[in-house]
Structure 1
Amino acid sequence: MNDSALPFPDRSPWWRGHTPLMWLAAAMAALVAVSLIGTVTDHRTLTGLPIWDKSVKFALSVAIYAVTWAWLLAGTRRRHRLAWWAATVAAAGLAIEMVIIVGQIVRGTTSHFNGTTAFDGIMFDVMGASIVVVWLATLVASIAVAADPAADRARAAAVRWGTTLSLIGMALAFLMFLPARGVPRPPSISGAHTVGAPDGGPGLPFLGWSTAHGDLRIPHFVGIHALQAIPLILAAAELLAARIPALRAATVRIRLVTVAGAGYAVMLALLTWQALRGQPIVRPDGWTWSAAAVILVLVVAGVVRALRAPRSAADPAAAVGFPA
């Protein structure tokens, strides 16, 4: 396969294309190691979980974000400078957020929604401002990457679906500032993850997602990581193309990406609706089960239709594979 047929230009090794993001990823990997040691040696708890549990989760998520965006930016042909600077701003904003999270852990208090003291309030305001900057910078980078020409339209579609849904997932965090709706909340607390109860109740191991009430962290998490999920679905289709001839056609892969993206978006809406109703993820009611069943049927039907739809004789069936 010629380099000209690749969806991304040859810039190996790609991880050298954005030094700030890769330094951020390396720092987060180190923080994961330190935090895991903290979960063993530091027996303090916060909102019902080991106090270092939060930094493990956030560091992992930020590391995945940084590596994914470094990989995406390595393939941009146009507007590369704009995307590079936007990602640099996002990396700086995430670094600020992580410094505050770790600092508050060391102090033994929460970082999010905390206005207990003037200092806590300032830290949360700074963190909130940094996240808004990260969202805006990610939006700019997403537009630059999505507008970039690509030799493989299925991969371009996967990136566009992934970045769009990831931005929506990030924005869902603002729902955590909704009024408590009958749940007592101290004046010093400006928001909550849990819907229908204060934060800190029973939750899933490590993740901490509430098992007794709704939890807005679930759609927030699922949405953010569409950036990895949608391209991975396409990567799986490309790998299966060796055994399933229909997947070798570009139009089929584009249809499958569209089905995956649309299905993911509807699933994200369902998870958000479930959380806002105060319903725990482990105990869905009949309405949630019914909606999930409808989504599953529609996705399966979409996949079948994508595989069986007629294809043009000129449709390329070129070899595929993500760049190393």
Structure 2
Amino acid sequence: MRSRLAQAIDWHRPLMLFSVAMVGVAALSLVGVIVDDRMIVGAPNWLKSFKFAVSFIAYSVTWAWLMSLHPRRPRWLHNTGTLLVVAGTIEMVAITGQAFRGRRSHFNAETPFDATLWVVMGVTVAIIWTATLVVSVSVARNVTLPRPLRLAVVIGMATSLAGMLIGPLMSQRDTGVKEIAGMHSIGVVDGGPHMPITGWNLVGGDLRVGHFIGIHALQVLPLVAIVLAALVTRYAILAHEEVRTRLVWTASGVYIGLFGLVTWQAFRGQALVEPDAVTLLAFAGIVAAGAAGVAWAKAAARTLVSA
């Protein structure tokens, strides 16, 4: 067990140590949610730092693993991973520091200090996105994986980058209030009725839904490919790589469809839990496409068996 942990740490030591630090931040934030009764824009004061810490854990571990698969592991790639850690650390210091102060971290221009922090956070986000793009291109070009997993990783990286771009869209939205430099809700103001934990708006559109789903494609889609490979011994149909590849294509199409759907739904000012007939029809189309994709995968199995 210890040797496996040591091997994981060696994937990319700065990224993995950052993920360990984020476990501590998540634990601290969770305690804060429980014992600190302060509220920020209708949500527990420490909830944002908790959510960002958990997200950074998934992000840093995933990228440490992917970088470890690079056949040459060039120095510049390692340094880019370290740059991600530096930018992520600055981001989390700002978010956690604002939680200590009982101030909102995002879209906050109420004082010169708050506005400066918000600008710094914007710079770190730009660095993280650019560095992620560079690393994604290198991984896509150089890492050798089984075809289904490689496909899942490549599509997951592209979708994650698209999901990250929703963040800047939030900061560009005009709130009509000089001290608030952006918002995530559409059709209503931030801070209204919302879901527990996620904080997603219950009465209006919320760009954070698509932001979340898009970003975490890089964890979900490779996990689909890994699970399919693990089920090979149980289901003979999955022994064929072509079948698993088609299922990954199908899962990716469904996932991207859902990402697009919830983002479109938010831009229409519609809450995730209050879909109209058009949204439900689009969702039905995604489900139908997924069923067709599964049938397509089964057809490949029949062809391979009869060949």
In the superposition, the TM-score normalised over structure 2's length comes to 0.93
The count of corresponding residues between Structure 1 and Structure 2 is 302
The residue aligned with 1:267 is 258
For residues 105-155 of structure 1, the C-alpha deviation after alignment (integer angstroms, 9 at most, x for no partner) is 111111111111111111000000001000000111111111124141211
* 1:50 Cα offset (Å): 1.1
- Find the partner of 1:69 among 60, 63, 66: 63
Question: CA 1:179–1:31 in 2, change beyond 3 Å: closer, same or farther?
Answer: closer
Distance in 2 of aligned mates of 1:43 and 1:151: 48
Distance in 2 of aligned mates of 1:19 and 1:142: 19
The residue aligned with 1:239 is 230
Aligned to 1:115, the other structure's residue is in SS state coil
CA contact (8 A) 1:260 1:299 kept: yes
Matching of residue 210 in structure 1 with residue 204 in structure 2: no
The residue aligned with 1:35 is 29
Unaligned runs of 5+ in 1: 1-9, 316-324
The residue aligned with 1:60 is 54
Distance in 2 of aligned mates of 1:128 and 1:119: 14
The residue aligned with 1:45 is 39
The residue aligned with 2:90 is 96
Question: For residue 118 of structure 1, what is the amino acid of its counterpart?
Answer: P
Unaligned runs of 5+ in 2: none
The residue aligned with 2:16 is 22
- Find the partner of 2:284 among 263, 278, 293: 293
The residue aligned with 2:267 is 276
Aligned to 1:77, the other structure's residue is in SS state coil
Q: More deviation in 30-39 or 169-178?
A: 169-178
Aligned-pair identity (%): 41
* 1:185 Cα offset (Å): 3.0
Matching of residue 197 in structure 1 with residue 191 in structure 2: no
Question: For residue 16 of structure 1, what is the amino acid of its counterpart?
Answer: D
Distance in 1 of aligned mates of 2:73 and 2:278: 45
Question: CA 1:36–1:286 in 2, change beyond 3 Å: closer, same or farther?
Answer: same
Question: For residue 22 of structure 1, what is the amino acid of its counterpart?
Answer: M
CA contact (8 A) 1:90 1:135 kept: no
Matching of residue 126 in structure 1 with residue 120 in structure 2: yes
Query: In proportion to residue count, which structure has more helix?
Result: 2
Distance in 2 of aligned mates of 1:226 and 1:303: 20
Question: For residue 213 of structure 2, what is the amino acid of its counterpart?
Answer: V
Matching of residue 105 in structure 1 with residue 99 in structure 2: yes
Question: CA 1:308–1:148 in 2, change beyond 3 Å: closer, same or farther?
Answer: same
The residue aligned with 1:320 is none
For residues 155-186 of structure 1, the C-alpha deviation after alignment (integer angstroms, 9 at most, x for no partner) is 11111011111111111112213444xxx531
Q: What are the equivalent positions in structure 2 for 1:161-180 lying under 5 Å apart?
A: 161-180=155-174
The residue aligned with 1:318 is none
Aligned to 1:13, the other structure's residue is in SS state helix
Matching of residue 308 in structure 1 with residue 285 in structure 2: no
Distance in 1 of aligned mates of 2:46 and 2:186: 23
CA contact (8 A) 1:185 1:198 kept: no
For residues 228-261 of structure 1, the C-alpha deviation after alignment (integer angstroms, 9 at most, x for no partner) is 1001111221122222222111122111111211
Aligned to 2:165, the other structure's residue is in SS state helix
Question: For residue 58 of structure 2, what is the amino acid of its counterpart?
Answer: I
The residue aligned with 2:179 is 188
For residues 33-68 of structure 1, the C-alpha deviation after alignment (integer angstroms, 9 at most, x for no partner) is 111111222111111111011111110001111111
The residue aligned with 1:150 is 144
Distance in 2 of aligned mates of 1:52 and 1:90: 23
Question: For residue 201 of structure 2, what is the amino acid of its counterpart?
Answer: S
Question: For residue 231 of structure 2, what is the amino acid of its counterpart?
Answer: L
In the superposition, the TM-score normalised over structure 1's length comes to 0.89
* 1:312 Cα offset (Å): 5.4
